[in-house]
Amino acid sequence: MNMKNLVARFLRTQQSGLVIVIIGIIIILSIFAGSHQDKVTGKQVNNFLNKNTLVQTATDASFFAVMAIGATLVIISGGIDLSVGSIYALAGVIMALALRAMGQMGFYPTFFSGMIIALGIGLVCGLINGSLIVGLKVHPFIITLGSMWVLRGLAFVTSKAESILLPDPLTQFAKATFGLSHTLYPVPMLVMIFVAILGEIYLSKTVMGRNIFAVGGNLDAARYSGLRLNRILIGVYVISGLTSGIAAFVGSSFYGSATCSDATGYELYVIASAVVGGASLSGGKGNVISAMLGAILIILIRQSIRTLHLDQNYEWIIIGCAIIVAVVLDQINARLAKKRLLAK
């Protein structure tokens, strides 16, 4: 396959637009970021285009990118999950409190205990959200808005608003260098990529994943085709809660502590990542790899504001505009697709 065919094939992919925008921002930042002299080698190093900044950018994106992967499944099904940040906070706090109560243990007992607790809390919270939505037949926005406050309140009460330190083995895991520079910590980035690959396989290669698209695309058609709607709808919230638990485990371990205020406001970043990545809020459309790229794009926007020495208050304005533009473009694309179908 020649280069022309490869380029044409890439441009047809759903992620091509995001990749081009990300590359464009990286080029702009590399030009305007300036450079500094490396204290060890004495060489001039670009302030942005260097391994430390790039890995740190990926690390900053990884925590809410992992949650965006789970939230994308919810959005594809036609729902919304506003509680992801609160699940993160509660999972981190409960994990930290439990490990503190257990006392000193070896690396593996500490690692697996922390992981099971954080992921278990996330899974249970997601199961409660899904069950309430299906059982009470209340709009997901209302249920997850309520659980957002309830779970954040539980994190506050259980932690007593204290910052709870995590055992060293967890920080050693999250900040493992794998032989790289002692300032490079690739674990969060690798976890993000691993979860994104699993999510892509689940959505595109399994019957359960295709059923999520069917439910979000046309609920009545999915019902008449015999799909178990309640199981599917509960399942996407369980996965969303699980990814929040994964993010809490990795994020709290990376920073070495957990507080009830962790991931405050992450709901905006998570939904923005999914929407900018092409997920339709009306359901039936979305891609987890695109959601990950959307998270990276948002972090690059934040990085641009800092690098170009702009007022950081513009961050919220730009991200809000990005959400609006993405939704408008999705609506325009849907209308054009409908017209093309009618024309045939």
209: left (phi > 0), else alpha (psi -120 to 50), else beta?
Answer: alpha
Summarised one tens digit per residue, pLDDT across range 172-189 is: 999 988 777 777 888 999
Question: Which pLDDT value is given to residue 26?
Answer: 86
What is the Cα–Cα distance from 314 to 312, expressed in whole angstroms?
5
Question: Which pLDDT value is given to residue 17?
Answer: 77
Is position 27 within any domain?
no
**Token pair of 42, please?**
């004495």
Is position 2 within any domain?
no
Summarised one tens digit per residue, pLDDT across range 40-91 is: 677 788 878 888 888 888 888 999 899 999 999 999 999 999 999 999 999 9
Question: Which pLDDT value is given to residue 11?
Answer: 64
Average pLDDT over every residue of 221-249: 93
Is position 88 within any domain?
yes
State the DSSP code for 79. -
Is position 339 within any domain?
no
C-alpha distances (whole Å) from 178 to each of 8, 195, 246 are 36, 19, 21
**164 strand-pairing partners:** 258
Domain span including residue 116? 50-264+280-286
Summarised one tens digit per residue, pLDDT across range 205-221 is: 999 999 999 999 888 88
Give the confidence band of 103 by pLDDT, cuts at 50, 70, 90. confident
Amino acid at 150: V
Is position 295 within any domain?
no
Is position 104 within any domain?
yes
Is position 118 within any domain?
yes
**257 strand-pairing partners:** 165
Question: Which pLDDT value is given to residue 213?
Answer: 93
Look up tokens 């109560």; give the residue. Answer: 101
Reply yes or no on whether the pLDDT at 112 is more than 90. yes
Mean pLDDT of the chain: 87
Higher-pLDDT residue of 223, 337: 223
Q: What percent of the chain has pLDDT over 70?
A: 94
Question: Which pLDDT value is given to residue 258?
Answer: 95
Q: What is the total count of domains within the chain?
A: 1
Q: Count the residues in the chain.
A: 344
Q: How far apart are the first and last CA of the chain?
A: 33
Is position 85 within any domain?
yes
**Token pair of 306, please?**
């800092």
Range with lowest mean pLDDT among 100-104, 127-131, 259-263: 100-104
What are φ and ψ of residue 37, in 5° steps? -90, 125
Reply yes or no on whether the pLDDT at 128 is more than 80. yes
Give the confidence band of 2 by pLDDT, cuts at 50, 70, 90. low
